[in-house]
Amino acid sequence: MTVELTERIEMADSDKARLDEMFELLERMLPEGYRAEVVEGAICMTPQRMTHWNIIRRVLRQLEDRFGEDAEITSDVRIDFPGYLNGFCPDLAKVAGGAVRDEDDRWSYRDVEFVLEVISRGTGRNDYGPKRDTYAVAGIPVYLIADPYQRQCHVFTEPKGDEYRTQRTVDFGEPIDLTGTVVDLVISTEQFPHD
């Protein structure tokens, strides 16, 4: 069954209360050292790992060098996305300058310009599948997956419908050229750790 883009966005708005309940429950139950998000109604919990954090930290520093320390860049912060119960907590999300949080103190997915997800053994299926498709539907201009198991980064740009028109793979150690995108920088991967 095909769902029209506008219907998918409306479903995300109507399920907000249910997502709120799920995250309230997670806040009470989540063991220390774990992160959680909701992908297509399924709760996904993963342990935080040093390899994971070190990649995030290296990209964060480069984003701050480019946009300044006051830029709106989040890590593991809930953002509701279009589709059925999609409360994602991207490893990194860069929000457009001048964006304003909503009445629940959350960023709108419409203001997100860049997302980084670092693959964990338990998250790869979501990051390469439903989350990638949802980020495309949401119109996220640049989606970057860093995969420490493959030692590669996958760059997705030019979202249209539920897919990205442009996709390329860069090996760890090679630069990721994002000039010409809203991010407009080259990300160094030379120091990215791997598993």
Per-residue pLDDT of the chain (195 residues; tens, 9 = 90+): 333 444 444 444 557 888 888 888 888 888 888 888 889 888 888 887 899 999 999 999 999 999 999 999 999 999 999 998 999 999 999 999 999 999 989 999 999 999 999 998 888 899 999 999 999 999 999 999 999 999 999 999 999 999 999 999 999 999 999 999 999 999 999 999 998
Based on C-alpha coordinates, what's the Rg of the chain? 16
With tokens 């407009």, the residue in question is 184
Paired sense of beta strands 163-171 and 176-177, if any: unpaired
Tokens representing 107 are 């960023």
Is residue 142 within 8 Å of residue 159, measured between CB atoms?
A: no
Tens-place pLDDT, residues 34-43: 888 889 888 8
pLDDT the model gives residue 96: 97
Letter for the amino acid at 99? A
Report pTM: 0.87
Tens-place pLDDT, residues 50-90: 999 999 999 999 999 999 999 999 999 999 999 989 999 99
